[in-house]
Amino acid sequence: MARLPRLSLGGHPHLVIQRGFPAQPLFVDDDDRRLFLSTLAEAARAQHVAVHAYVLLDTEVQLLATPKDESGIGRMMQAIGRAYVAAFNRRHGRSGTLWQARYRACVLEAELYLVACMRHVESRPLQFGHADMLDYPWSSAAHHVGRQSLPFITEHPMYWRLGNTPFEREAAYRSSLERALTQRETRQIEEAALKGWALGSDHFVHELGKHTDRRLRPLPRGRPARRHAGSA
């Protein structure tokens, strides 16, 4: 089956997943993680991409970000790949790529899925054996609950709707973060990101369809119903 072109549209949030090989960690130590974050901040600024949330795990990076134009995410990820992989290889005396495959991404409807995707990204350490996502130092969770300030994080308007003051927003987000997403919500978000489907309402998908010829949702399962002889 032919691979669909990657979907990317300016002005809409994107959930981005980049994975490494299971036997080759993306980060050997905290210096690697700091290097990746500085590379991310520089690339996002250069390509006019607003980063809303992130998590760095041993074999996976997830980002929630809004590009100014349709090529911003691709250019940012390309810049990160060139700079970080080259620096990682120099530090650790190796060669070759770190990435298992090209990055995956989906466009999402902010009103319905922005906060849910933030929760998905920032709760990922729990799935990798970490006891407390708020104490995990390599995600944006602590920023959103007021424990630290990350200058390269741009808070999305949907986050601002959580409260009228920073304290109200932080408390409301912490409460939502501590409520685990359902299995159905997690599966829906991950499938959209890994397969490149639009994540949103029927109206949202219809409006996106005006800007691209690419298929935005999976085809219905099963064969079309067979028409009986003599039917209209």
| Residue 112 lies inside a defined structural domain of this protein | yes
Residue 212 lies in a domain: no
For residue 67, the one-letter residue type is P
> pLDDT tens digits, residue range 162-171?
999 999 999 9
Is the residue at 209 inside a domain?
A: no
Q: Is residue 91 part of a domain?
A: yes
Tokens matching residue 123: 């709760």
- Domains: count for the chain: 1
Report which of 116, 131, 112, 71 is spatially closest to residue 200, judged by C-alpha positions: 112
226 assigned to some structural domain: no
Backbone angles phi, psi at 166, to 5 degrees: -55, -40
The answer on pLDDT for 38 being more than 50 is: yes
User: Which tens digit of pLDDT belongs to each residue from 95-144?
Assistant: 999 999 899 999 999 999 999 999 999 999 988 778 788 999 999 999 99
Looking at residue 90, what is its pLDDT?
96
SS3 state of residue 208: helix
pLDDT digits (tens, 9 = 90+) for 169-216: 999 999 999 999 999 999 999 999 999 899 999 999 988 888 777 778
Residue 156 belongs to some domain of the structure: yes
Residue 229 included in any domain = no
Q: Does residue 204 belong to any structural domain of this protein?
A: no
pTM for the model stands at 0.89
State which residues form the domain around 21. Answer: 14-199
Question: CATH number, domain at 109?
Answer: 3.30.70.1290
Give every CB contact of residue 181 below 8 A, 6+ residues apart in sequence: 116, 119, 120, 123, 189
